Amino acid sequence: MPRAMKCYIVHVDMDAFFASIEQRDNSLLRGKPVIVGADPKKGGGRGVVSTCSYEARKFGIHSAMPISIAYKRCPQGVFLPVDMAKYEAVSEEIFKILYDFTPQIERAGIDEAFLDISGSYHLFGTPLGTCLLMKSRIKKETNLTASIGLAPTKMAAKIASDLKKPDGMVEVIKDKLLDFLWPLDVSKIWGLGEKSKSALNNIGINTIGDLAKKDIRDLVRLFGKGGASFWQLANGIDERIVETESETKSISSEITFEEDTLDKDKTDGALVLLSEKVSGRMRQDGLKGRTITLKIRLEGFHTFTRSFTLGEPTNFVSSIYKEAKVLYNNFETNGKRVRLLGVKISNLSRKDAERTLFSTNSKNEREESVQTAIDKIKKKFGSDSIHLATGKAPKT
């Protein structure tokens, strides 16, 4: 949609999604700290928290936290396994509701999405009225709450949806965009991590407004190209559009380590997890891809990418991991520690588009059978139930 037109971007974020479903379905869990994820006892403390209720968050528990730490902070909590089949079914109910408001939807996960209602809000009244109607229907039809942000840009909409959780609704008017952004903590900038925040704090930049008023050349010297991007976002410049499924150009995932590292177990474990996440998303969306890109950010915020294009498209974990590891092993860090790793696959095609009467490959068929079995296990028992047998899971 041309930027000359008024743009109304919506970010819908379900509140503590997995835990809220469990509390909805079992009244005995309401008001209790519910932690959904790995078993803290039977799994030997390995695995992470997938989602936790707001009651659990009062103990400092959050998503992606090691389950062993969550158990130490809240041993009296109710720890439940991931029931992905149930959560996916509820997710589809929610997306069916959202598609009643616009076809311009970008799925950002099982429990969140961006919508562009610029061309459809008039069917329901005002942009704000459209969002309130969304919230009302989600609550009425699923008995779950969503927090919604409405803004002229994707970043502002995402920030807005997080400000008044749970069951929040925040509207950002275009003429007031900078008034909304500038008082916020600089950590709210999309893609700006803890290390970057610390680096900015060290030079007196604490709010988004402080960042916006900084000389862009100083930021580029400090962060490279990322500095220019941070400056633009701080000044309300965000040209990213809502990408529908048919417009998806790539699928990616990233991990930022708690501490910069050269530990091969940690980096290899990260590549495994990233490959699994990318593969899972592709298989869920019925996609394959040919170009695998590895993103490496070293200490000092220097970022590099390396790519390799396969002869035929894939969505197999083993294939993605194999090429990502080769790219990593061929990269020279010159003794600098790794801060972030990312895996992206592009050059996408529909999964069935590659099949012909003459394309039978017994090796691919066997691998497809294995991968399908893994998909079923993960769907039934959760994403932590089975992993590619290599490396150690990273501490992120």
**At residue 319, what is the residue type?**
S
Positive or negative, the Cα torsion across 196, 201, 207, 208?
negative
Instruction: Name the strand (E) or helix (H) holding 319.
Output: helix 317-329
The vertex-115 CA angle with 113 and 121, nearest 5°, equals 145
- Pairing mode of beta strands 250-261, 287-298: unpaired
**CA pair distance 344, 354, nearest whole angstrom:** 20
Q: Which string of DSSP letters, residue by residue, matches 308-368?
A: EEEEEEE--HHHHHHHHHHHHHT---TTPPEEEEEEEEEEEEEGGGG--TT---HHHHHHH
- In this structure, is the dihedral angle defined by the CA atoms of residues 87, 91, 92 and 94, taken in order, positive or negative? positive
Of the candidates 54, 58, 59, the one whose C-alpha atom is nearest the C-alpha of residue 19 is 54
Helices vs. strands in the chain: H and E counts, helices first? 14, 12
Ramachandran angles phi, psi of 226, nearest 5°: -60, -30
Q: Which two tokens stand for residue 214?
A: 């900084």
End-to-end CA distance of the chain: 37
Distance CA 44, CA 37 (A): 13
Residue 112 annotated as catalytic: yes
Alpha carbon separation from 9 to 101, 104, 119, 173, 262 (Å, rounded): 12, 10, 11, 11, 40
Residue type, 164: K
Q: Which residue has the tokens 């929040």?
A: 168
Question: Which among 76, 81, 138 is positioned nearest to 113, based on CA atoms?
Answer: 138
Query: Which residue is catalytic, options 106, 112, 171, 276?
Result: 112
Helix axes 362-381, 264-285, angle to 10 degrees: 90
Q: Rg of the Cα trace of the chain?
A: 22
Catalytic (active-site) positions: 112
